[in-house]
Amino acid sequence: MRTLVLFAHPVETSYQAALHRTVVAALNRAGHEVDDCDLYAEGFDPVLSRAERLDYHDPELCRAPVQAYVDRLLAAEALVLVFPVWNYGYPAILKGFFDRVFLPGVSFDLVDGVLRPTLHNIRRLAAVVTYGGNRWRTILMGDPPRRVVTRSVRTMIHPAARMRYLALYDLNNAGDGARRNFLDRVDRVVAKL
């Protein structure tokens, strides 16, 4: 299965980078064709320009600045997001990817003012996420990243797609054992994607 991995963390020695390496290794071991998109390493520009916003509803014009990323998304059969939760949201670079690449004519069409999802090529969706806050505090905050992945992103892909959301909460207080256990869990689950 052609799998696009979107990784969003600027530090190659971070725990999130270890999760990213685990995801890619598990996918490769399972025989997936992996397109590993490290947004920071690739220098992805998350800023939606004035011109892009003005051209947003013209499917040809809006995708031109990010055509290479659009092509990668449209070629994928599975999408795996690997990111930390910062301030109860995505890193800006990942939010910018959604703003600039999940466009009309790419992830949805507007038909008489009604949004119609079009990313039906994506039949598997997974997120591998770390939170600095504990689960209870995250629930009180509404867990926006989980909601966006499991509701918003999920609605853009194939209606019968399988979805997994793997989260390690309270990373700031997690010991080596908890971190190892989560890496092992990610390896097992992603290998079965």
Q: What percent of the chain has pLDDT over 70?
A: 100
Neighbours of 108 (CB within 10 A): 17
Inform me whether the pLDDT recorded for 111 exceeds 90.
no
Query: Which residues face 131 on adjacent strands?
Result: 85
Report how far residue 71's alpha carbon sits from residue 65's, in angstroms, rounded to the nearest whole number.
12
Inform me whether the pLDDT recorded for 160 exceeds 90.
yes
Q: Any idea what DSSP says for residue 9?
A: -
Q: What is the pLDDT of residue 59?
A: 87
Query: What average pLDDT does the structure give for the chain?
Result: 96
pLDDT digits (tens, 9 = 90+) for 10-24: 999 999 999 999 999
Q: What is the pLDDT of residue 12?
A: 96
Single-letter amino acid code for the residue at 123: R
Report how far residue 126's alpha carbon sits from residue 107's, in angstroms, rounded to the nearest whole number.
17
Inform me whether the pLDDT recorded for 113 exceeds 90.
no
Q: Which residue has the higher pLDDT, 57 or 44?
A: 44
| Token pair 């003012």 in the structure block, residue | 113
Residue 62 pLDDT level (bands cut at 50, 70, 90)? very high
Averaged over 174-183, what is the pLDDT? 97
Q: What is the pLDDT of residue 20?
A: 98
CATH superfamily of 2-191: Flavodoxin domain (3.40.50.360)
Report how far residue 63's alpha carbon sits from residue 56's, in angstroms, rounded to the nearest whole number.
8
Averaged over 116-144, what is the pLDDT? 94
Neighbours of 120 (CB within 10 A): 12
Report how far residue 7's alpha carbon sits from residue 170's, in angstroms, rounded to the nearest whole number.
20
In Å, what is the CA distance from 99 to each residue of 93, 116, 162, 171? Answer: 10, 17, 23, 28
Q: Which residues contact 103 (CB under 8 A, 6 or more apart)?
A: 56, 59, 62, 63, 66, 70
Residue 112 pLDDT level (bands cut at 50, 70, 90)? confident
